[in-house]
Amino acid sequence: MDIILRANGVGLTYGTEQAVSNADFTLKRGEVAAIMGSSGSGKSSLLYCLAGVLPPTSGTVTFDGVQLSHLPDGELSALRRTRLGFVFQYGELLPELTVEENTALPLRLAGISKAHAHVMAGQVLKRLGMGDLLRRRTSKLSGGQSQRVAVARALVHRPDVVFADEPTGALDSVNAAAVLREFLQLARRQKTAVVIVTHDAEVAAKADSQYTMSDGVLTQRVAA
Ligand code: ADP
Ligand code: MG
């Protein structure tokens, strides 16, 4: 099956606030999908549902043929850990760990030995131009460097899908463009599908599919 992720009629409400309404979404293996939309339109909420972080109030999310709501909690978190990756707006690294340790975390959690995990982390970090800073604590990095580590950590275990929620929100536009370009290149090289929330129209234009979120309603933009 070519479809790795599918949402059917997904809705999410917080109390009386309808953050996402009836969203349909499909993602093929290796596809890059961009979601744009103003602040408060429901982009993060949709991502949480797609990634199995929050159960939708209505509708279904299916990952590789399995409906997420049918999975017991333990299996869902194992799936998130092994087959999904995440990049957030502010990186969210562990400041006391080194670049290499932060990047290796998903592998260590999957039971891979420290030595092997660090070799794999080093390879991804090198691709992202961070090969000289492996032993540095991430509390000592610049914003752009931190974001590269967050990207490396999200891709190191070669997940099927990476969810990136405004992944360069904390960077100036030059740095943001560079990090995003490398992120998408690396994802494509290892055939990881990406769902990226971005304000950057140039990044969105490079994606395979484009969506807009407005007042909780997701609309696919059709190429002109
Ligand atoms: P975006 O990521 O596009 O900025 P969000 O998904 O964060 O939008 O938010 C969509 C709507 O849901 C907003 O009106 C926001 O205030 C509301 N919202 C988000 N998270 C919560 C929450 N935990 N509790 C209540 N309302 C929330
Ligand atoms: Mg958001």
Q: Where does 11-142 have alpha helices with state H?
A: 43-50, 73-83, 99-109, 114-127
Q: Which domain holds residue 162?
A: 3-221
Does 182 have pLDDT greater than 90?
A: no
Q: What is the pLDDT of residues 24-67, one digit of tens each?
A: 999 999 999 999 999 999 999 999 999 999 999 999 999 999 99
183-211 tens-digit pLDDT: 999 999 999 999 999 988 888 998 999 99
Number of domains composing the chain: 1
Contact criterion met (CB below 8 Å) for 91 and 147: yes
From first CA to last CA, the distance across the chain in angstroms is: 29
* Centroid of ligand 1 to alpha carbon of 33 (angstroms): 21
Q: At 181, which CATH number? A: 3.40.50.300
What is the Cα–Cα distance from 67 to 27, expressed in whole angstroms? 15
Distance CA 104, CA 107 (A): 5
Q: Is 19 in the pocket of ligand 1 (CB under 6 A)?
A: yes
Q: Mutation test of ligand 1: which of 17, 48, 165 has the most ligand atoms closer than 8 Å to its C-beta?
A: 17
Would the CB of 45 count as within 6 Å of ligand 1? yes
Counting from 1 in the atom list of ligand 1, the atom nearest the Cα of 165 is 2
- Taking every pair of Cα atoms in the chain, the longest distance, rounded to a whole number of angstroms, is 50
> What is the pTM for the complete model shown?
0.94
